[in-house]
C-alpha cells in the first residue's frame, strides 16, 4: 500500500542565497530539488509538495511599489501577491518535476492547487511582524525602504543582511484538504499550500476575506500533513541537520531527537525565529497530532541512511 509524504521545499530549493533569482537559476535549482525526490517515489511514497515564497513574494511586492510609483498601477494586497506566487512557483515546480520524471523513465500526473489557509484576524502576530520576505539589504538600504514605504525590517539571524518582516499568523485550517489528499492518494503528485497558503479569515456571516500576512509555510505544511494523516513530514532547508549552539565553537548536529528534547531546545532559545524555530515547531506539531516521524534536512540528503534530523515521539 502506498504511503503518503508531505515534503516542504524551503526557499533554498528554488533560490540560493547568493543568486539574484533569474528564471534560469530558479528552474535549475527546482530541477535539482525535484530530482532528489526520486528515492521517495522509488520507496512507493505518494507525494504532496509544499513550498516557500519569501524571495518571490518580496519581489512581487517590490514590483507592486514600482508600478504604483511610476505608472499608478493599483497596488495589490499581500494575499493576492501570495496567490500570484503560488501560481508561478507551482507552475515552475510542476514543469521541472515532469522533466525529472521523464529523465528517470517515470510517469505521473502533477497538479498545482492554489490553496487558501484560514487564520484568526485577531491573532497577536498582526501586532508583531516576524516573517521575512524579499531580498537581503544593507542597514542603509533597509532604512531608506522603511522610511519610503513604512515597512518593518529585522536583521537576519545569520547576519546575511536585513529583510522586510510581515505578520505571520497561526494557520488554523487548510481549504480543500480532502481534495489534496484524494488526488495524492490516487497517485497524483500534488503541489499545494504554496508560501504557507493564501491567508484568509472567515467573518461572522461565514464570508471569506483575504488578509495582509504571510503564513509560515512549515507550520501550514505540518497542519496539512496532520489533517490528512500523512505518514511522513519532511522539511527541506539549506543545512543537512538541525544544530544546537549554531555558529559557535560548541555547534552540534542533531541526529534523532524526541519531541520533549526538541521542546527543551526551543525553551533554551537554540533556534532562531523566522528560521529554524518554526521548522522544529512544525515537526513537533505533526508528531503531537498523530504523525510518526518528521525530518529536517537538505534535499540532496534524501535517500541516504539516517539523513537529516529526525524528530520522533517520546
Q: What is the pLDDT of residue 1?
A: 66
| Mean pLDDT, the chain, integer | 94
CATH code: domain 3-241 is 3.40.1160.10
Neighbours of 65 (CB within 10 A): 14
| Domain residue spans of the chain | 3-241
Residue 39 — very low, low, confident or very high, per pLDDT cuts 50/70/90? very high
Under 8 Å CB-to-CB from 12, ≥6 apart: which residues? 29, 236, 237, 238
| Burial of residue 19 (number of CB atoms within 10 Å: 0-12, 13-18, 19+) | middle
Give yes or no for residue 62 having a pLDDT over 80.
yes
Band of pLDDT at residue 298, cut at 50, 70 and 90 = very high
d(CA 45, CA 53): 25
pLDDT computed for residue 12 by the predictor: 72
**Region 212-224: what's the mean pLDDT?**
96
For residues 293-304, one letter each, b for 16 or more C-beta atoms within 10 angstroms of the residue's C-beta and e for the rest, the string is: bbbbbbbebbee
249 pLDDT above the threshold of 80: yes
308 close to 240: Cβ distance less than 8 angstroms: yes
What is the average per-residue pLDDT within 98-125? 98
Q: In which band, very low, low, confident or very high, does the pLDDT at 285 lie, cut at 50, 70 and 90?
A: very high
> Is-contact 40 2, C-beta < 8 A?
no
- In the predicted structure, residue 215 carries a pLDDT above the cut 70: yes
111 pLDDT higher than 80? yes
What percent of the chain has pLDDT above 90?
79
| Cα–Cα distance measured from residue 28 to residue 126, given in angstroms and rounded to the nearest whole number | 36
Report the 10 Å Cβ neighbour count for 68. Answer: 13
Can you tell me the distance from the alpha carbon of 211 to that of 200, in angstroms, rounded to the nearest whole number?
Answer: 5
Is the pLDDT reported for residue 65 higher than 90?
A: no
Across 75-94, average pLDDT: 96
Q: Determine which of 27-31, 145-149, 202-206 has the lowest per-residue pLDDT on average.
A: 145-149
Q: Give me the pLDDT at residue 49, please.
A: 98
What band does 151 get if pLDDT is binned at 50, 70 and 90? confident
- Whole-number Å distance between alpha carbons of 248 and 246: 6
- CB neighbour list of residue 41: distance below 8 Å, 6 or more residues apart: 47, 106, 108
Nearest CA to 86 among 171, 158, 14, 167? 14
The whole-number pLDDT of residue 254 equals 98
The residues carrying an active-site annotation are 11-12, 131, 217, 279
Kindly state the average pLDDT of the residues 292-311.
92
Q: pLDDT band for 6, please (50, 70, 90 cuts).
A: very high
Amino acid at each position: 500500500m502506498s504511503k503518503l509524504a508531505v515534503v516542504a521545499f524551503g526557499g533554498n530549493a528554488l533560490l540560493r542565497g547568493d543568486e539574484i533569482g533569474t528564471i534560469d537559476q530558479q528552474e535549475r535549482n527546482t530541477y535539482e530539488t525535484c530530482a532528489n525526490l526520486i528515492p521517495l517515489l522509488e520507496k512507493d511514497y505518494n507525494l504532496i509538495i509544499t513550498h516557500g515564497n519569501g524571495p518571490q513574494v518580496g519581489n512581487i511586492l517590490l514590483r507592486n511599489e514600482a508600478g504604483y510609483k511610476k505608472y499608478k498601477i493599483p497596488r495589490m494586497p499581500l494575499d493576492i501577491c501570495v496567490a500570484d506566487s503560488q501560481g508561478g512557483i507551482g507552475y515552475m515546480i510542476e514543469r521541472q518535476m515532469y522533466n525529472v520524471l521523464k529523465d528517470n523513465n517515470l510517469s505521473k500526473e502533477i497538479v498545482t492547487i492554489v490553496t487558501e489557509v484560514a487564520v484568526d484576524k485577531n491573532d497577536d502576530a498582526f501586532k508583531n511582524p516576524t516573517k521575512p520576505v524579499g531580498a537581503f539589504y544593507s542597514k542603509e538600504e533597509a532604512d531608506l525602504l522603511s522610511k519610503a514605504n513604512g515597512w518593518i525590517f529585522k536583521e537576519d539571524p545569520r547576519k546575511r543582511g536585513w529583510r522586510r518582516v510581515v505578520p505571520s499568523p497561526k494557520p488554523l485550517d487548510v481549504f480543500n484538504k480532502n481534495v489534496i489528499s484524494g488526488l495524492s492518494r490516487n497517485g497524483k503528485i500534488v503541489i499545494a499550500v504554496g508560501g504557507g497558503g493564501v491567508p484568509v479569515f472567515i467573518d461572522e456571516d461565514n464570508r471569506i476575506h483575504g488578509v495582509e500576512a504571510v503564513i509560515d509555510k512549515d507550520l501550514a505544511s505540518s497542519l496539512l500533513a496532520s489533517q490528512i494523516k500523512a505518514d511522513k513530514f519532511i522539511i527541506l532547508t539549506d543545512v543537512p541537520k538541525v544544530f544546537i549552539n549554531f555558529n559557535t565553537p560548541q555547534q552540534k548536529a542533531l541526529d534523532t531527537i524526541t519531541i520533549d528534547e526538541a521542546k527543551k531546545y526551543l525553551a533554551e532559545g537554540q533556534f532562531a525565529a523566522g528560521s529554524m524555530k518554526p521548522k522544529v515547531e512544525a515537526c513537533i506539531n505533526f508528531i503531537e497530532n498523530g504523525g510518526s516521524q518528521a525530518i529536517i534536512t537538505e534535499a540532496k540528503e534524501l535517500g541516504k541512511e539516517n539523513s537529516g534530523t529526525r524528530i520522533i515521539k517520546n
